C-alpha cells in the first residue's frame, strides 16, 4: 500500500463545474496535509494546507480532512481552463517527512 494515494486521472470537468480531487493516506499519525498544483514544466505551487478535521475554504478552493477515514480532498468550484494542471496531495506524518501522492491530472474543458 502506498503511503499517499491519488487517482492519476485524468479527471475531466466542464468549465464552471466543481472538480473533486481525492487522496488517502496510510499513516494514522499524520499531522499536516497540503495540496499543491503543478503546471506542466513548472514546480509545485502550494494552494491549500489543512491541519484539523473539517473543511477549510480559500476562494474557489475547499480542502476537506477526515482523519478517522484517513482521507483528504480538494474541491475546486467554478472550474476554469486555467485550473488544468496536476494536483499533488502531500502528507506530513510522525516521521517529519513530506510524502507526496503521484498526483491527479485535472482537465477543465471550455
Partner 1 sequence: KAGVTQTPRYLIKTRGQQVTLSCSPISGHRSVSWYQQTPGQGLQFLFEYFSETQRNKGNFPGRFSGRQFSNSRSEMNVSTLELGDSALYLCASSLEAGPIEQFFGPGTRLTVL
Q: What does the binding site for partner 1 look like in residue numbers (CB under 8 A)?
A: 31-32, 34, 36, 42-46, 49, 51, 88, 90, 92, 95-103
Closer by beta carbon to partner 1, 77 or else 97: 97
Closer by beta carbon to partner 1, 97 or else 109: 97
Determine if the peptide bond prior to 10 is cis (ω within 30°).
Answer: yes
State the minimum distance, in angstroms, from the CB of residue 74 to partner 1: 15
State the minimum distance, in angstroms, from the CB of residue 45 to partner 1: 7
Amino acid at each position: 500500500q502506498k503511503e499517499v494515494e491519488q487517482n492519476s486521472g485524468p479527471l475531466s470537468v466542464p468549465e464552471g463545474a466543481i472538480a473533486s480531487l481525492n487522496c488517502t493516506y496510510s499513516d494514522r499519525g499524520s499531522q499536516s496535509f497540503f495540496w499543491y498544483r503543478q503546471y506542466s514544466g513548472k514546480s509545485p505551487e502550494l494552494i491549500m494546507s489543512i491541519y484539523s478535521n473539517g473543511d477549510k475554504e480559500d476562494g474557489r478552493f475547499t480542502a476537506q480532512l477526515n482523519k478517522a477515514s484517513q482521507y483528504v480532498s480538494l474541491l475546486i468550484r467554478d472550474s476554469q481552463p486555467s485550473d488544468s494542471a496536476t494536483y499533488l496531495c502531500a502528507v506530513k506524518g510522525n516521521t517529519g517527512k513530506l510524502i507526496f501522492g503521484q498526483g491527479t491530472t485535472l482537465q477543465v474543458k471550455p
